[in-house]
């Protein structure tokens, strides 16, 4: 049903709920944007804490379209585009905290890039990453699996990928301790129901790829040529072989 004010078409009122919260979009004239504050706050507020609440979720209202039928023209009313909520915080506290840990790891890595001399491994670098992985693992294990979604799996995959990639790039050595923390973190994902994991298929593949990279890159201890990483659901054995 078309809504008009005078000669102006309006997009209808509409409530939309997603993983960022519930957005109550009001009537909006065609060709304009509607703006709303994020239900759980927005990322920009971290950088401008004294600023007034920011209207940072928005949605376009598109003008009416004319469709040509067999014998007449059909005039559709104004219609909504997709909401843009990228800057809004997640509605889940767990998801928000995982994203904070991911950002903290990225900041650590940027600091390493600025301060680590070329080809010089810093043993403290990997310790900093292990600390954040352990923090993330404790968080994800404290949440009942019924509350975890495919977005949480995506977050876990992103944290692991960021942590492993920096080791591969040479900012720190992929130690057995790092490998065990990656396994501890990934292990929890296998407790989630199969239907959620199917929806997070690409994230699961990313986690599996990074586990494989860890086994290929891990530095063996000086006292042995074999090590194991294990959790409740995962068991990985790494054996160093000598070329014949």
Residue 191 is predicted with a pLDDT of 92
| Helix ranges (DSSP H) in the chain | 44-47, 93-115, 123-141, 150-168, 176-187, 194-199, 201-217
User: Per the confidence metrics, is the pTM higher than 0.85?
Assistant: no
Residue 134's nearest CA partner among 178, 97, 164, 168 is 178
Confidence bin at 216 (pLDDT 50/70/90) = confident
Same domain for 127 and 235: yes
Mean pLDDT lowest among 20-24, 75-79, 160-164 = 75-79
4 vs 131, more confident: 131
Same domain for 118 and 56: no
Same domain for 74 and 98: no
pLDDT digits (tens, 9 = 90+) for 88-112: 888 788 888 888 898 899 888 888 8
CB atoms near residue 60 (< 10 Å): 17
178 vs 71, more confident: 178
Same domain for 217 and 128: yes
Residue 202 is predicted with a pLDDT of 92
- Say what percent of the chain tops pLDDT 90: 33
Same domain for 172 and 59: no
Confidence bin at 14 (pLDDT 50/70/90) = very high
The sign of the CA dihedral 34, 40, 43, 47 is positive
CB-based contact 137:183 (threshold 8 Å): no
Q: Is residue 183 part of a domain?
A: yes
H or E segment to which residue 68 belongs: strand 66-68
Residue given tokens 């090590």 in the structure block = 227
Same domain for 27 and 109: no
Residue 240 is predicted with a pLDDT of 66
Average pLDDT value for residue range 190-213: 92
Task: Please give the residue range of the domain that contains residue 7.
Answer: 3-80
Same domain for 99 and 66: no
pLDDT digits (tens, 9 = 90+) for 161-193: 998 888 777 778 888 888 899 999 999 999 999
CB-based contact 95:132 (threshold 8 Å): no
- Of 56, 80, 104, which residue constitutes the final position of a domain? 80
């Amino acid at each position: 049903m078309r809504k008009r004010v005078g000669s102006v078409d309006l997009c209808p009122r509409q409530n939309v709920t997603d993983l960022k919260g519930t957005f109550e979009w009001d009537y909006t004239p065609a060709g304009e944007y509607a703006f709303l504050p994020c239900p759980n706050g927005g990322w920009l507020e971290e950088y401008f804490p004294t600023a007034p609440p920011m209207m940072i979720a928005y949605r376009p209202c598109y003008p009416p379209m004319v469709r040509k039928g067999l014998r007449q023209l059909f005039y559709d009313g104004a219609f909504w585009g997709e909401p843009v909520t990228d800057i809004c915080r997640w509605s889940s506290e767990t998801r928000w905290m995982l994203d904070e840990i991911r950002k903290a790891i990225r900041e650590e890595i940027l600091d390493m890039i600025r301060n680590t001399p070329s080809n010089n491994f810093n043993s403290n670098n990997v310790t900093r990453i292990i600390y954040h992985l352990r923090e993330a693992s404790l968080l994800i294990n404290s949440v009942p699996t019924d509350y975890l979604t495919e977005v949480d799996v995506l977050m876990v995959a992103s944290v692991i990928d960021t942590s492993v990639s920096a080791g591969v790039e040479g900012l720190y050595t992929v130690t057995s301790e790092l490998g065990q923390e990656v396994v501890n973190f990934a292990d929890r994902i296998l407790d989630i129901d199969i239907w959620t994991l199917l929806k997070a298929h690409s994230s699961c593949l990313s986690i599996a790829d990074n586990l494989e990279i860890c086994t290929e890159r891990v530095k063996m201890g000086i006292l042995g040529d074999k090590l194991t990483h294990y959790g409740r659901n995962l068991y990985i054995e790494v054996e160093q072989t000598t070329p014949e």
